[in-house]
Amino acid sequence: MTPSLPATAVRRRARTVEPVPYDFRRPLTLSREHARHLSMALQRFARLWGTQLTARLRALVQVTFDDVTLVTYDEHVGSLPTPTALFVCTVEQPRGTAVLQLPVATTLVWVDYLFGGTGLGDDREGRELTEIETTVVGDLLAHALGDLAYTFAAIMPLELSVRSVQYNPQFVQAVAATDAVLSARFTLRVGEERVDTATLMLPAEPVLAALRAEQRPEGDEPSRERVVRDRADLERATLEAPVEVAVRCTPRTVHPRDVVDLTVGDVLPLSHPASRPLEVVVDGVVLAHAAAGTHGSRIACQVVSVEENHA
């Protein structure tokens, strides 16, 4: 009868996260620590953005941060719908380009609310923003980008301003196709029924460089004296670690029948010549050779040679 697993073990197994396949053609990944810092900043940004939109539109708006990934710019563009509103932003410090993507229909709902409407918007396919609508939405986004700078202040200065708006992702060459970018995804809920997705693309290198700098210990690179001292401490700790030492004859290969039929009194010939020193072994590695002998009332061995590769 097979013993049953405890209920807690079954529940724990049920909660196990499924493994994610690793694509060796795209070895881009965020470290756990970097992903945690970015997620915290983007979650704060989502809350502030939702609060700001609710106050400006006088309608309930919820913005939820979904995830952030490290991908190439070409992969980010390939994941965007067409057509869509792409607000190309200038990154002041350090100089670069970011892209905030929003469905055109979502921005038109915002415009409708701002002008006292009921939020019906305009879902006509291929509809683009007029000059007035672009100005109105740009003003809303300027406040949102100010919130983004506030939430990223603990990581790095991040000043963004809207430069232009485009509608086909394939025509927006913000960075080189193979450059790494941070792709953040948000869920926008306006009112009780409308749910849309927005994305924010940031150049990865300056942000990751700021995160790496934040993790370094204070001060300059370790001094030479500190390196020497740390190396000496490591060597001393290594030399004081206990290890098991064995003295053995040269191993011999035998058949299973030679072992199974062994009885008391049987003689098992070894392949080790009587004149050859025994092997001194640590963790399966031969370090020296020794001759068998005694030391008082105990068996001992005297080292007669040392392996040069391990001296």
User: What are the tens digits of pLDDT across the range 151-182?
Assistant: 999 889 889 999 999 999 988 988 888 899 99
Q: What is the pLDDT of residue 201?
A: 95
Q: What is the pLDDT of residue 298?
A: 86
Q: What is the pLDDT of residue 219?
A: 46
Res 240 pLDDT > 90: no
Q: What is the pLDDT of residue 7?
A: 55
Q: What is the pLDDT of residue 16?
A: 58
Backbone torsions φ then ψ of 221, nearest 5 degrees: -60, 150
DSSP state of 181: E
Closest CA to 121 of 110, 132, 129: 110
Q: Which fold has domain 23-215?
A: Chemotaxis protein chec (3.40.1550)
Which residue blocks in the chain are alpha helix, DSSP H?
Answer: 7-14, 32-57, 73-78, 104-114, 131-151, 204-215, 224-239, 256-260
Res 8 pLDDT > 60: no
- Separation of alpha carbons 310 and 299, rounded Å: 25
- Separation of alpha carbons 57 and 11, rounded Å: 45
Res 37 pLDDT > 70: yes
More confident residue, 296 or 18: 296
3-state secondary structure of 288: strand
- Predicted confidence band of residue 15 (pLDDT cuts 50, 70, 90): low
Res 27 pLDDT > 80: no
Q: How many CB atoms lie within 10 A of CB 76?
A: 23
- Residue ranges covered by each domain of the chain: 23-215, 243-257+271-311
- For the chain, count helices (H), then strands (E): 8, 10
Q: What percent of the chain has pLDDT over 90?
A: 42
Q: What is the pLDDT of residue 17?
A: 63
Measured CA to CA in angstroms, residue 247 lies from 163, 284, 285 at distances of 76, 11, 11
How distant is the alpha carbon of residue 85 from its chain centre? 30
Mean of pLDDT values over 286-291: 86
Q: What is the pLDDT of residue 151?
A: 94
- Separation of alpha carbons 139 and 145, rounded Å: 10
Res 208 pLDDT > 80: yes
Mean of pLDDT values over 188-207: 90
- 212: which residues sit within 8 A by CB, 6+ positions away? none
Mean of pLDDT values over 208-220: 70
pLDDT in tens, 99-136: 999 999 999 999 999 988 888 878 788 889 999 999 99
Domain 243-257+271-311, CATH 2.30.330.10 — does that match?
yes
